[in-house]
Amino acid sequence: MKFYNQRPAKLSLVIALALGLSACGNEQTAQADTKKVDAKPTVADGKAFINDAEQQLADLSVEASRAEWIYSNFITEDTAALAAAVGEKYTANSVKFATESAKYAGLPFGAVDERKLNALRTSLVLPAPLDPKKNAELAQISAELNGMYGKGKYCFQDGNCMTLPELSAIMAESRDPAKLLEVWKGWREISKPMRPLFENEIKLANEGAQDLGFKDLSELWRSQYDMEPQAFSDELDRLWGQVKPLYDLLHCYVRGELNEKYGDNVVDKTGPIPAHLLGNMWAQSWGNIYNEVSPKNGDPGYDVTKLLADNAYDEKKMVKQAEGFFTSLGFEPLPETFWTRSLFTQPQDRDVVCHASAWDLDNLDDIRIKMCIQKTAEEFTVIHHELGHNFYQRAYKNQPHIFKGSANDGFHEAIGDTIALSITPKYLKQIGLLNEVPDESKDIGLLLRQALDKVAFMPFGLMIDQWRWKVFNGEIKPSEYNKAWWELRQKYQGVQAPVARSEADFDPGAKYHVPGNVPYTRYFLAHILQFQFHKALCEIAGDEGAVHRCSIYGSKEAGEKLNTMLEMGSSKPWPEALEVVTGTKDMDAKAVLDYFAPLKVWLDEQNKAQNNQCGW
């Protein structure tokens, strides 16, 4: 999963230290406010508040972006302190504005101001209680949870201690069930001490959500989607219902192949798949086991990594080619500052954060990417994805600051992935990397590899917040955290823990987004939307072939529609943005089924031929 820098441009995560500073710095003000005689706020008061908040956040976002960029590219104690200080200031103001915005809820604003006010009010992922002592306590807990995860290591019996990236490499590469089990269990030791902290954190954050006028944290999180919270939950269930039959076929086939490889004692022919065998620490995507389950004729007949080398593509040329994809759609070329200020290769003289990311530093034209590019097929795709974020950022630059973001939090990731779906053999031929497009009979391997990453991810992308929302609203009690986690994993994914787990464990905490308080439903939405966008844009481009073979490269018509949607930012409800490209206001997973239609036929045939009993 690729992330990008958007915190300064979109009101998002609450930095724990900032909460603490806000609690200390505002204690006297909070106490004084309680002594004031309640005066009914007016629309004029609300408008003045919105305008002031928006301007302050706009100014702070630039300061925070620059500090964060410097820290990521020059990692020292000093740059870390500078970035943290600015981040604390930005987030403390976000806390203040969210709390104050609750005073104006229900006043008769116009549509634009109402939307801005709601964005301010729902911006906090982890809202602090108004009580300064509880505010500070929440800040301390959040910092501790993040620290536990960030410092997490597992030490083998020989004394060799490994970090998460090193352990994840073993999960991706090893095929020794015993070794995989040890690593799987070992990483989950780090999350056991998180449990009481997490329980108290939820209690405090629920109080903070109630102070903002929400029933609980679940309602706040689900209120960010231009729908009633329950209606949004129902929408997610509907979308998953569309995809589940395809997922079930993929699960059935993969389980059969793993059973053949490992035997009945390791993988039951009819039960859930043990979570440690799917090539990923959390069994969230299965692409790393492609070689174990690939079809006999799965070789597409070309290797993009080799093609890049044969055609003398260096790191900058790879980025230039990705830029060429967007200019072929009618987008303006990237500004010169992009090329002089971005980071494309890992410096030899200093440490940098190499994780691929797209940046918008001034909310206008100073857009950049930061990557330590490897000259591989995967990185070629990632570059197209990251530039998708950049072109989105630039498209909405003329929106008011609060609307400088994606239509909903699933759109930004979806746009990057939509562009990546057009990196097809047809595109590779158009840009001169391939001489001939392989016959469609070669497509099954490509589709299976895509499905192992994208279709396999969907139930995982859905279930994390399904668990969290039930924790937030009290449906899942603290005494059942782990039990409910594995019940949902089995329900949605057909995956089970490889060894018995108990309430002494806290397996949700082994996934960063839980102790880090990062909402996860956005990734499920992105996996639905990218296929819906891709299919619609292919139709606009006039491509009449199979949708999985389509590339919108060179289509000015598709580019114009796409840009119109991107320019809207978050200024309108997401269904209106969706309609611009797709012609409908409804998300629809049918495009996923259309894309993988040939694979579905093949999976049906394989499951029948091997007498696989699907389901779990």
Q: What is the DSSP letter of 282?
A: T
- Can you name the residues that pair with 467 across neighbouring β-strands? none
Round to whole Å and give the CA distance between 139 and 126: 10
Highest averaged pLDDT of the listed ranges 29-43, 292-306, 342-356, 594-608: 594-608
User: pLDDT value at position 132?
Assistant: 85
* Banded model confidence at residue 611, pLDDT cuts 50, 70, 90: very high
Other C-beta atoms closer than 10 Å to the C-beta of 479 total 10
Nearest Cα neighbor of 10 from 369, 358, 523, 388 is 358
Contacts of 239 (CB under 8 A, 6+ apart): 524, 528, 587, 588, 589
The strand pair at 495-496 and 153-155 is best described as unpaired
Round to whole Å and give the CA distance between 609 and 606: 5
Q: Degrees (nearest 5) of the Cα angle 294, 284, 184?
A: 100
Indicate if the pLDDT at residue 497 is higher than 80: yes
Q: Are 325 and 333 in contact (CB under 8 A)?
A: no
Task: Give the model confidence (pLDDT) of 78-120 as tens digits.
Answer: 988 888 888 778 878 888 899 899 889 889 999 999 999 999 9
SS3 assignment, position 336:
helix
| DSSP secondary structure string for all residues of 118-186 | HHHHT--SSPPPSSHHHHHHHHHHHHHHHHHHHT-EEE-TTS-EEEHHHHHHHHHH---HHHHHHHHHH
Task: Give the model confidence (pLDDT) of 591-604 as tens digits.
Answer: 999 999 999 999 99
Q: Are 92 and 30 in contact (CB under 8 A)?
A: no
Indicate if the pLDDT at residue 10 is higher than 70: no
Mean pLDDT calculated for residue range 302-324: 96
Active site residues: 355-356, 385-386, 389, 413, 513, 523
Indicate if the pLDDT at residue 138 is higher than 80: yes
pTM to 2 decimal places: 0.91
Q: Are 456 and 250 in contact (CB under 8 A)?
A: yes
Q: What is the DSSP letter of 38?
A: P
Helix (H) or strand (E) run with residue 87 in it: helix 77-101
Q: Are 283 and 275 in contact (CB under 8 A)?
A: yes
Torsion over CA of 375, 378, 384 and 387, rounded to 10 degrees? -80
Terminal Cα distance for the chain, rounded:
27
Tokens of 275: 């979570």
Give me the helix-helix angle, 164-173 and 177-187, nearest 10°.
Answer: 150
The string over 230-247, giving b where at least 16 C-beta atoms fall within 10 Å of a residue's C-beta and e elsewhere, is eebbeebeebbebbeebb
Measured in degrees and rounded to the nearest 5, phi and psi for residue 430 equal -60, -35
Between 350 and 389, the higher pLDDT residue? 389
Nearest Cα neighbor of 12 from 518, 578, 397 is 518
**Tokens 């987030």 found at:** 91
Q: Are 442 and 97 in contact (CB under 8 A)?
A: no
Round to whole Å and give the CA distance between 312 and 195: 52
- Can you name the residues that pair with 273 across neighbouring β-strands? 495
Q: Are 468 and 475 in contact (CB under 8 A)?
A: no
Helix extents (H) in 345-442: 377-395, 411-421, 425-430
User: pLDDT value at position 13?
Assistant: 36
User: pLDDT value at position 38?
Assistant: 58
CA distances from 568 to 67, 184, 187, 395, 564 (A): 28, 44, 42, 8, 7
Round to whole Å and give the CA distance between 363 and 68: 15
SS3 assignment, position 377:
helix
Indicate if the pLDDT at residue 182 is higher than 50: yes
Measured in degrees and rounded to the nearest 5, phi and psi for residue 215 equal -65, -45
Task: Give the model confidence (pLDDT) of 407-421 as tens digits.
Answer: 999 999 999 999 999
User: pLDDT value at position 24?
Assistant: 35
Measured in degrees and rounded to the nearest 5, phi and psi for residue 162 equal -125, 145
| DSSP secondary structure string for all residues of 221-244 | HHTTSSS-HHHHHHHHHHHHHHHH
In percent, how much of the chain has pLDDT > 90?
79
Tokens of 328: 């072929």
Contacts of 542 (CB under 8 A, 6+ apart): 555, 557
**Tokens 């620059």 found at:** 66
**AA identity, residue 256:** G
**Tokens 């080398």 found at:** 309
Round to whole Å and give the CA distance between 424 and 438: 11
Q: How far is CA 162 from the centre of its chain?
A: 25
Indicate if the pLDDT at residue 27 is higher than 60: no
Helix (H) or strand (E) run with residue 358 in it: strand 357-360
Chain mean pLDDT for the chain: 91
Round to whole Å and give the CA distance between 29 and 48: 20
Highest averaged pLDDT of the listed ranges 105-109, 132-136, 472-476: 472-476
The dihedral built from the CA positions of residue 366, 372, 373 and 377, taken in this order, carries a sign that is negative
Mean pLDDT calculated for residue range 556-582: 98
Domain boundaries, the chain: 1-125, 144-197+230-299+455-507, 304-437+522-605
User: pLDDT value at position 363?
Assistant: 94
Round to whole Å and give the CA distance between 130 and 52: 22
Half-sphere exposure of 377 (CA within 13 A, CB side): 12
Q: What is the 3-state secondary structure (H, E, C) of 176-199?
A: CHHHHHHHHHHHCCCCCCHHHHHH
Mean pLDDT calculated for residue range 3-23: 36
The strand pair at 153-155 and 161-163 is best described as antiparallel
Q: Degrees (nearest 5) of the Cα angle 233, 538, 454?
A: 45
